[in-house]
Amino acid sequence: MSRHLIKNYRDLASTKLRRDALGVLEAGLRAIDTRQAIRREVQLNRTVLTVGSHGWDLAEFKNVYVIGIGKAAFDACAALEGILGSRIVGGVVLDVKAGPLKRMKSVAGSHPFPSLTNMQATGEIIALLKHLSSRDLLIVVVSGGGSALLCWPYQLKCDDLTMITQLMMSRGATIREINTVRKHLSEIQGGQLARLAHPATVLGLIFSDVPGDDLDMVASGPTVLDTTTVEDAARILSRYDVLKTCRMPDCELKETPKDPVFFKNVTNILLVNNQAALLAMEGEALKRGYGARMYSNNLVGEARDVGKILSGLPRKNEMVLAAGETTVTLRGKGKGGRNQELALGALASLDADGLVLSCASDGIDNTSVAGAIADARTREAAKRLRMDPERYLRENDSFSFFRKTKDHLVTGVTGANVSDLMIAARV
């Protein structure tokens, strides 16, 4: 079995700079391994469960249930099952992948748009929540991707929610804007899971994929007191002219719970974020003899423009490291993702001794690949194949471009999700 997390490492590692950049990226991916994070942070000593500085005596509870949502859910819940064993009496795990679990039901749902499978699994979660009492402990793993996976629309069909989400994404809405709307079109997000679980004790284990680590935005904050309002959601829908385009002028929004009583017994703990990946990447870059500069862990903006900016940042023998979540405004009818578009946007302005790569930490950049790497070799391949990078950018067809130049990053589904990871480097 290959020791590399990047499955096509050998195909990509054709220069020293590429090998070093790929090695730095892999250090970041290893640092956010979901199962290791659970084993590191969650401890059981006899009957006392501790997470960081917080502790719960399981002897005080009648039942322990576990719910997992998002792209880190399955791996996290599998690790929790290894720690808690038969103390878990039941639960539901909703991820983009499924697998064998002894104490919980595992469901593979759809992403980035909801589906009937997602709704059915969410219905099972709601049924579990409604039977909780003050003597129960509910552990909720919350991770990126949960906004689409955890789906119980308010007075809408699943297809309606998909149409609204799709339109906002295509018009360049940020993840905060999209999740604000999702909260107010839902009966379980925006703190509503915590309300449904009341009066049980709730422990939220959060794997953040949101730039800035706003916990109420991760998976649209099902266990967190929501700070947004229906007015906020209405303004965003109006800004992107969504309801008129979707022919849904009478779409009703729902206010999320604001009463602190529902959150009195809720503890939310941030377990993993992109800072962990960046610190590991910095250490690996230094180890390989490069200067290392943290540019941002909250990088946002139009993907192609961010790519151009990153391409001009590194000095000689330096790696500039960043993480965040860019956006893509669809202008063409091509195929791709924000990481691939970022790399393609950087290509034209890259120096001959430079490189830019961008990788989705979950391994899914709106396609079957995680992202792409761009450098002089990419330009040479495009020239040899008589491909115009600007034409592919105009069509938002970064997937086809990098498939032909053979510069995709392939990791498979990683079981982690802390936003996108980016490297700009020069030798």
Q: Greater confidence, 211 or 174? A: 174
What are the phi and psi torsion angles at 266 (to 5°)? -110, 130
The residue from 272, 291, 324 where one domain ends is 272
What is the per-residue pLDDT for 212? 87
For position 240, which CATH number holds? 3.40.50.10180
Collapsing DSSP states into helix, strand and coil, what is residue 256? Answer: coil
Q: What is the mean pLDDT of residues 414-421?
A: 97
266 and 380 share one domain = no
Confidence of residue 292 (pLDDT cuts 50, 70, 90): very high
> What single-letter DSSP state applies at residue 262?
G
27 and 40 share one domain = no
The residue from 243, 272, 301 where one domain ends is 272
As a whole-number percent, the residues of the chain with pLDDT over 90 amount to 97
Mean pLDDT value across the chain: 97
- Count of structural domains, the chain: 2
18 and 100 share one domain = no
43 and 14 share one domain = no
Q: Which domain holds residue 209?
A: 34-272
Confidence of residue 64 (pLDDT cuts 50, 70, 90): very high
13 and 89 share one domain = no
Omega into 314 within 30° of 0, i.e. cis?
A: no
Confidence of residue 211 (pLDDT cuts 50, 70, 90): confident
Q: Quick one: which of 243, 249, 186, 262 has its CA closest to 219?
A: 186
Collapsing DSSP states into helix, strand and coil, what is residue 39? Answer: helix
41 and 167 share one domain = yes
- Tell me if 231 is assigned to some domain: yes
Tens of pLDDT, residues 19-62: 999 999 999 999 999 999 999 999 999 999 999 999 999 999 99
What is the per-residue pLDDT for 2? 56
Q: What is the mean pLDDT of residues 92-108?
A: 98
186 and 294 share one domain = no
d(CA 222, CA 216): 8
- Tell me if 229 is assigned to some domain: yes
d(CA 128, CA 125): 5
For position 332, which CATH number holds? 3.40.1480.10
376 and 253 share one domain = no
15 and 113 share one domain = no
d(CA 112, CA 370): 14
d(CA 203, CA 58): 12
pLDDT at residue 225 is higher than 90: yes
The residue from 272, 304, 320 where one domain ends is 272
295 and 243 share one domain = no
414 and 319 share one domain = yes
* The pair of three-digit structure tokens given for residue 306, joined into one six-digit string: 């961010």
> Could you please report the per-residue DSSP string of 57-80?
EGGG-SEEEEEEESTTHHHHHHHH
Omega into 211 within 30° of 0, i.e. cis?
A: no
245 and 388 share one domain = no
Q: What is the mean pLDDT of residues 281-304?
A: 97
pLDDT at residue 1 is higher than 60: no
- Tell me if 360 is assigned to some domain: yes
Tens of pLDDT, residues 397-413: 999 999 999 999 999 99
